């Protein structure tokens, strides 16, 4: 008896979980790094900003996963992308000042945010191109 091919479904589920898990780990890293920022006026301001923008994509990705339409999905993914780009800028500032005692420890977070930006850009492009192919945009 032939079994249906479920490899594509399992692969998509694994990708979704991987992105969700990586966003969670990124958020954890942002929180830990934020707590290590120097306790100066500038440090407190930047720590609050980077914590807000750096943890937002994890929650917004959950909302995107439950989007009511393709347009809603794209909108929420674009918000994730905006927050990731903002986080990228804050991380660059934290490193440049530096606002942490060991700026080289930011390298992993900077690499992660760069990778997340590329993934979200590609996801948005993919959905938009599929809509164009179907005549939806």
pLDDT in tens, 42-78: 999 999 999 999 999 999 999 999 999 999 999 999 9
The two three-digit tokens of residue 42, written as one number: 């500038």
Please state, rounded to an integer, the average pLDDT across all residues of the chain: 89
For residue 5, pLDDT beyond 70: no
Q: How many residues does the chain have?
A: 137
For the CA atoms of 121, 127, 128, 133, the dihedral, rounded to the nearest 10 degrees, stands at 140
Domain 17-133 architecture:
Up-down Bundle (1.20)
Mean pLDDT value across residues 126-133? 90
pLDDT in tens, 12-37: 555 556 999 999 999 999 999 999 99
Lowest mean pLDDT of 14-18, 36-40, 116-120, 124-128, name the range: 14-18
Give residue limits of the domains in the chain: 17-133
Q: Could you give the percent of the chain with pLDDT greater than 90? A: 78
Angle formed by the axes of helices 70-96 and 107-133, to 10°? Answer: 160
**Residue/partner pairs of 122-131 with CB below 8 Å, 24 or more apart:** 123/77, 124/74, 124/77, 124/78, 124/81, 127/70, 127/73, 127/74, 127/77, 128/74, 131/70
Q: Count the neighbouring beta carbons within 10 Å of the beta carbon of residue 79.
A: 17
Residue written as token pair 């306790």 = 39
Rounded to the nearest 5 percent, the helix, strand and coil shares of the chain are 80, 0, 20
Contact at 8 Å (CB) between 119 and 19? yes
3-state secondary structure 63-101: HHHCCCCHHHHHHHHHHHHHHHHHHHHHHHHHHHCCCCC
């Amino acid at each position: 008896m032939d079994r249906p091919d479920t490899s594509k479904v399992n692969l998509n589920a694994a990708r979704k979980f991987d992105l969700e898990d990586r966003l969670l780990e990124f958020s954890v890293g942002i929180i830990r790094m934020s707590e290590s920022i120097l306790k100066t006026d500038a440090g407190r301001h930047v720590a609050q900003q980077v914590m807000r923008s750096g943890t937002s994509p994890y929650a917004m990705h959950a909302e995107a996963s439950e989007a009511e339409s393709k347009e809603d999905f794209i909108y929420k993914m674009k918000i994730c992308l905006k927050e990731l780009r903002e986080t990228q800028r804050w991380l660059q500032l934290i490193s440049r000042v530096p606002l942490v005692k060991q700026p080289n420890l930011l390298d992993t977070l900077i690499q992660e945010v760069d990778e997340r930006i590329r993934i979200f850009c590609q996801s948005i492009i993919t959905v938009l191109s599929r809509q164009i192919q179907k005549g939806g945009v």
